[in-house]
């Protein structure tokens, strides 16, 4: 499984820790930045390239981190084909994948501690979409929204 990860200054430290443990666990990890701590950087500069790679299928699952996780989630969800959610509990980490085919998990680097974040990442990466008819039907409706042209 190819994992992509991105963070601004608010999630930089958590990103560095997660990359180390993901690689130790045997995952192929692509780091979309930030590659150094710059307190004035902007989460869309890192999260959007990650989200685009997920949408294109170049990355299997993405992890997007900013201070609260909210901005990263907002930015990731602007990319068609991305289904991102801010996750703070293990139920949502697996249910978001199983029922909603979530492909980007967002974390708050200033909100969620490392131990919980690592647990959530493992749950997210081990979950699989259920392919039940009701879930597929709902996702088709979401995909249709992405194709609408806004005036």
* Predicted confidence band of residue 149 (pLDDT cuts 50, 70, 90): low
Cβ atoms of 111 and 69 closer than 8 Å? yes
Domains of the chain: 2-147 (3.40.1400.10)
DSSP label of 149: P
**What is the reported pLDDT for 120?**
98
Q: What is the pLDDT of residues 82-141, one digit of tens each?
A: 999 999 999 999 999 999 999 999 999 999 999 999 999 999 999 999 988 888 888 888
**What is the reported pLDDT for 33?**
95
Reduced to 3 states, what is the DSSP secondary structure of residue 147? helix
Cβ atoms of 15 and 5 closer than 8 Å? yes
**What is the reported pLDDT for 132?**
82
Q: Residues with catalytic annotation?
A: 66
First to last CA, the chain: 39
Q: What is the pLDDT of residues 50-77, one digit of tens each?
A: 999 999 999 999 999 999 999 999 999 9
């Amino acid at each position: 499984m190819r994992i992509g990860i991105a963070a601004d200054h608010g999630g930089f430290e958590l990103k560095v820790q997660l990359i180390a443990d993901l690689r130790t666990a045997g995952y192929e990890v692509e780091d979309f930045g930030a590659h150094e701590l710059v307190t004035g950087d902007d989460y869309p500069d890192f999260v959007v390239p990650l989200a685009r790679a997920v949408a294109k299928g170049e990355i299997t699952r993405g992890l997007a981190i900013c201070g609260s996780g909210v901005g990263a989630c907002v930015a990731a969800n602007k990319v068609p084909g991305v289904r991102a959610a801010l996750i703070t509990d293990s139920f949502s980490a697996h249910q978001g994948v199983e029922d909603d085919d979530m492909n980007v998990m967002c974390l708050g680097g200033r909100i969620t501690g490392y131990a919980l974040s690592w647990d959530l990442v493992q749950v997210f990466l081990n979950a699989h979409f259920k392919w039940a008819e009701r879930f597929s039907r709902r996702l088709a409706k979401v995909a249709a929204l992405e194709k609408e042209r806004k005036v």
